[in-house]
Amino acid sequence: MTCLDYPDFLHIIVLEQCDSTNNYIKTNHENLRDRLPVLVTGSLQTAGRGREKRKWVSPRGKGLYTSFGINLGNSKNLNLLPLIAGISVIETLNRITGMQLTLKWPNDILYNNKKIAGILIENIIAASDIFCITGIGINLNHTAADFPGELQDKAISLKMITGLNSSAGQINPVLAAVLFQWLEKLKTGASEEIIQTANRYSGFLKDKIISFHHPPDNKITRGIFKGINHDGGLILENKEGSITIYYSGEIA
Ligand code: BTN
């Protein structure tokens, strides 16, 4: 098992409990601005949030609930951040356990097609910079019965795979180190490497028929997943062979 210290430039806040670690950063962003980057982790969340306004049920001792507050200045390729966050979770869990995980665009993390981690990114855009909140939830010690009924055949935890308990305290430093390595690549414009890596982790879906939900027009479209394009969009081919690139939405 790899053990790393937190990067020394990172400010760490450990909360006994909170409504949501993303909310904590949002509410305190004025105070946190001169202490960035910051990592906020909670032992439990009373109102954990997922994408598309879903709940992220967050009981004590079961999951990792961590958000990063990052000032991305005027970095280019901000739209690659969701991919970087997903890649970082995959590589962190691979370093710690050796397991091979996959990426379902934009940033669901899967093991054998079941979700083990999810990411919620929220931005506060000011005149001179972008304050970015990257919230990460990883299922650690759940049994199948710990997941809400509708998720029981769709979700999985590290413990269900390895049989071992793990803790956020053990995973957070590795996650932080890996994420900031990728953020450095984002800043230096290594977008090709980011896209190649995201395509490699989502290769299991390449050329497969998927159902794609695009909330802005509340439509589910079936098509063939052709991968991720140079600026992070999902490439979907319809049955007539024409291509649409999506920058929001999710694979159903
Ligand atoms: C999803 O897959 O729908 C995204 C889930 C994100 C959950 C994490 S847990 C830490 C952070 N705080 C939240 O309220 N949500 C994110």
Give the DSSP per-residue string, 206-225.
TT-EEEEEEGGGTEEEEEEE
Q: What is the mean pLDDT of residues 46-70?
A: 96
State which of 66, 136, 157 you would mutate to test the pocket of ligand 1, scoring each by most atoms of that ligand within 8 A of its C-beta: 136
* Residue 174, C-beta contacts closer than 8 angstroms, at least 6 positions apart: 2, 3, 4, 92, 95, 96
How far, in Å, CA of 185 to CA of 159, rounded?
A: 32
The pTM of this model reads 0.95
* Residue 169, C-beta contacts closer than 8 angstroms, at least 6 positions apart: none
Beta bridge partners of 13: 40
Residue with CA at minimum distance from ligand 1 atom 16: 135
> Quick one: tokens of 142?
């759940």
pLDDT at 175: 98
pLDDT at 129: 79
Q: Which atom of ligand 1 is nearest to the CA of 42?
A: 10
Ligand 1 mean position to 19 CA, how many Å? 11
- Is 150 exposed, middle or buried, given 0-12, 13-18 or 19+ CB atoms closer than 10 A? exposed
Q: What is the mean pLDDT of residues 44-64?
A: 96
How far, in Å, CA of 151 to CA of 145, rounded?
A: 10
Q: Which atom of ligand 1 is nearest to the CA of 58?
A: 9
In 126-165, which residue ranges form alpha helices assigned H by DSSP? 158-162
SS3 content of the chain, % helix, strand, coil (to 5): 35, 30, 35
Q: Which atom of ligand 1 is nearest to the CA of 47?
A: 14
Q: Does residue 10 carry a pLDDT above 70?
A: yes
Mean pLDDT score across all residues of the chain: 94
Q: Does residue 23 carry a pLDDT above 60?
A: yes
Q: Does residue 152 carry a pLDDT above 70?
A: yes
In this structure, of 66-75, 89-98, 225-234, the range with the lowest mean pLDDT score is 66-75
Choose among 47, 51, 42: nearest CA to 86. 51
**Number of neighbours of residue 230 by Cβ within 10 angstroms:** 11
Q: What is the mean pLDDT of residues 102-127?
A: 94
pLDDT digits (tens, 9 = 90+) for 157-176: 999 999 999 999 999 999 99
Beta bridge partners of 69: 38, 133
Q: Map residue 172 onto helix, strand or coil.
A: helix
How does strand 130-139 pair with strand 63-71? antiparallel
- What 8-state DSSP symbol labels residue 233? P
How far, in Å, CA of 30 to CA of 237, rounded?
A: 44
Torsion of CA 12, 13, 16, 17, to 10 degrees: -120
Ligand 1 mean position to 35 CA, how many Å? 22
pLDDT digits (tens, 9 = 90+) for 187-224: 888 999 999 999 999 999 999 999 999 988 888 999 99
Ligand 1 mean position to 75 CA, how many Å? 24
Q: Map residue 203 onto helix, strand or coil.
A: helix
Residue with CA at minimum distance from ligand 1 atom 3: 50
